[in-house]
Chain A
Amino acid sequence: MPSFQNRQELVNELEYHYFIFLLFSIFGIVEAIQLYHQKQRKELTIYLFLLLPGLVITVYTATQVGLPSIAEELGSWFGWMSQ
């Protein structure tokens, strides 16, 4: 995640994270209702099990500044990449 130089950058970052959250929430609700009405309970469980953590991560990444990247994190665990 990038570090922000000014307040405007932070607002932009929050705005598009909010957009992504809203977009996938709407998709998610519509499809979850569809799966519920089709009585596909197993599929619905898997669907929510994957979607909800995704939405939580979206909110989390929007509110955090200067998070390390996944490659950085894995690199520090396994000593992969030369820093």
Chain B
Amino acid sequence: MKREPLSFKQTVYLLILFIIGSTIILPVGTEAKQDIWAAVLLAIVMTLPVVLVYARILSLYPERNLLEINEQILGKVVGRFINFLFAFYAFTLCALVLDNFGQFINVTAIPETPLAIPMLILCLLALWATKEGLEVIARSGEVYLPIIVFVATFTFLFLTPNLNINRLQPSLYQNSGGIVSAALHLFSFPFAETVIFTIIIYCTNKTKAMAKVYLAGLLIGGGIILLSVTSVMAVIGPERYQASYFPAYLAVQTINVGDFLQRVEVVVFLIAIFAGFIKISLCFFAACKGLSNALGCKEYRFLTVPLGLLEFLFASNLFNSTKQMAQWASEVYLYFAFPFQVALPMVIWILGEVKRRGRQGSPEVDLHDELR
């Protein structure tokens, strides 16, 4: 399979955009109410060991991605079956994000247009980006992230007069259950979704680089999420945050600087779509790559059109309403994602360590020679 190397900067940028993705538009961690900042911090702490496991898996087998590592560790048949499961997860995640953005665009901007139209446009863009390859998606990320950071900073500055610190109080008062529950939801969406990156990227010879990439992406992306949700909560308060499907949009609607700077919600709209495009493209890329590996094909690009059509159909028939989408995200997603985000990577990591140590014990076999 043709390698598409990414630089450290490009990978970290992609990770940040992936984490920001749909998180900035959706009401995440609603159970924590005014203590949402604590839930985000707890979720980051919970994700740290998991992303280190992801990084370790990739470091164990340099120059290989998770799909190739699975085949190496578990054998061809079981490995490809596991790869198929990961491809299914990436496919489902792509459909969910596509649906999130379709609903967001439909509800906030073009309510008269059928929901499927924005979804189709996003799907075609992701299909095109995947056909062009990972480098093109990474370069798009390099262009988008500085714009997003610049615009988000100004939006935050304009939002500061509306911040009401009283809305974040009482702080940590008889709400530990809510914080833990919100942290678990934040762990599964968006932080541990970065498992998708193990399919996309591979480790170069520097074993510590992978951990640095993951930690940098998680901490910067997590920091942005922390700042974003806390300021949204401080602007609209826990009740409206919980009741709204797109709270960030609602918060930015309150910006009014001297009656001449208003309706800047279009900015949030653009940020969300940039980040969402990257997340959808990466998930779709991972789904195509996973499926091509599971079917024993060397190239993944030929799968983009048929899988793109199935992706669109799956996303457009996934939920009937925004309420159903929110309900699914809060009640089902955590349990659905757990095997792919934690259980399978843990099993692969343990088997990888055991196999590696077994090989290092026998003097005849050099692991790196065998890998090449």
List residues of A whose CB falls within 8 A of some B CB: 1-2, 12-13, 16, 20, 24, 27-28, 31, 35, 40, 42-43, 46-47, 50-51, 53-55, 57-58, 61, 67-72, 75, 80-82
In the A-B complex, the 7 residue pairs with the smallest Cβ-Cβ separation, listed nearest first, are A50-B306, A54-B309, A51-B306, A69-B320, A24-B309, A27-B305, A54-B310
CB-CB under 8 A from A40, the residues of chain B are 302
What would 10 A/B residue contacts be, using CB atoms closer than 8 Å?
A20-B312, A43-B297, A54-B306, A54-B309, A67-B317, A70-B314, A71-B320, A71-B325, A71-B328, A81-B331
Q: Are B297 and A61 in contact (CB under 8 A)?
A: no
CB-CB under 8 A from A61, the residues of chain B are 313, 316-317
CB-CB under 8 A from A12, the residues of chain B are 114
A57 to chain B, nearest CB (A): 5
A59 to B224, CA, bound (A): 43
Q: Are B309 and A2 in contact (CB under 8 A)?
A: no
List 17 additional A-B contacts (Cβ < 8 Å) besides A43-B299, A75-B332.
A16-B117, A28-B305, A35-B302, A46-B295, A46-B302, A47-B305, A53-B310, A54-B306, A61-B316, A69-B318, A70-B319, A71-B319, A71-B324, A72-B324, A80-B328, A80-B331, A81-B331
Q: Are B310 and A82 in contact (CB under 8 A)?
A: no
A58 to B316, CA, bound (A): 11
A46 to B325, CA, bound (A): 32
Q: Are B328 and A81 in contact (CB under 8 A)?
A: yes
- Nearest-CB residue, chain B, relative to A30: B305
Q: Are A42 and B302 in contact (CB under 8 A)?
A: no
A81 to B322, CA, bound (A): 14
Partner of B305, one of A16, A31, A75: A31
B264 at the interface (CB under 8 A from A): no
Q: Mark B314-348, 1 if CB is under 8 A from A, else 0.
A: 10111110001101100110000000000000000
**Binding site of B, secondary structure by majority: helix, strand, loop or mixed?**
helix
A10 to B324, CA, bound (A): 23
Partner of A13, one of B114, B299, B303, B328: B114
- Nearest-CB residue, chain A, relative to B311: A54
B307 at the interface (CB under 8 A from A): yes
Q: A24-B305, A43-B302 are in contact. Are A50 and B310 (CB under 8 A)?
A: yes
- Nearest-CB residue, chain B, relative to A57: B313
Q: Are B302 and A1 in contact (CB under 8 A)?
A: no
A35 to B299, CA, bound (A): 12
CB-CB under 8 A from B318, the residues of chain A are 69-71
CB-CB under 8 A from B325, the residues of chain A are 71
Q: Mark B117-140, 1 if CB is under 8 A from A, else 0.
A: 100100000000000000000000
Q: Mark B353-370, 1 if CB is under 8 A from A, else 0.
A: 000000000000000000
A59 to B320, CA, bound (A): 19
CB-CB under 8 A from B332, the residues of chain A are 71, 75, 80-81
